[in-house]
Amino acid sequence: MFYIVVCNKKNYFICKNNGIYATKNDRFLKKIEDKDILIFYIKRKSLIPGIYKVTKKMSLFNDVLFKNNNFQFKVKIKPIIELEEDKWFNFKTITDKLSIIKKKNIPPGLYLQSTVKNLPEEDYKLIFSEISKIKKFKE
């Protein structure tokens, strides 16, 4: 399965540096399994910094990594593609081609209000293809 996971820039770097994705509500992460793919989406910026594979499904943790937030549910991740910050992919450039964006005149961020959103395989392939043009993926 493929998912877009939404976070701010600061929390993205915490996730990236710790090899996790975390949230306060387990209902979003319960459905995510090993080998599922997560595409990080930076809210308010409409940028994609990377694509990750889940290496361990949801578990509880008590580490205080996120200030002012109790994100106690996590999945372990490893990078497939990580972009340098100055090369983050502008999600808005392909929204007219994505099936998850129903009304093309509405800002794409409105479709990504939840923390985790299912992504159809054809949308994943398009995003992966565009990001691969910027940087080769890790084997």
Determine, yes or no, domain membership for 59: yes
pLDDT of 16 above 70 = yes
How many domains does the structure of the chain reveal? 1
Nearest to 83 by CA among 124, 53, 52, 56: 52
Chain-centroid distance, C-alpha 120? 14
Percent over 70 (pLDDT), the chain: 79
| pLDDT per residue as tens digits for the range 71-111 | 777 889 999 999 999 999 999 888 888 887 776 666 666 66
| pLDDT per residue as tens digits for the range 20-62 | 888 877 777 788 889 999 999 998 899 999 999 999 887 666 6
To the nearest 10°, report the CA torsion of 112, 18, 49, 58: -40
Determine, yes or no, domain membership for 92: yes
Determine, yes or no, domain membership for 19: yes
Determine, yes or no, domain membership for 125: yes
Determine, yes or no, domain membership for 139: no
Its domain, for residue 97, covers 2-134
pLDDT of residue 139: 44
pTM: 0.88
For residue 17, which amino acid is it?
A: N
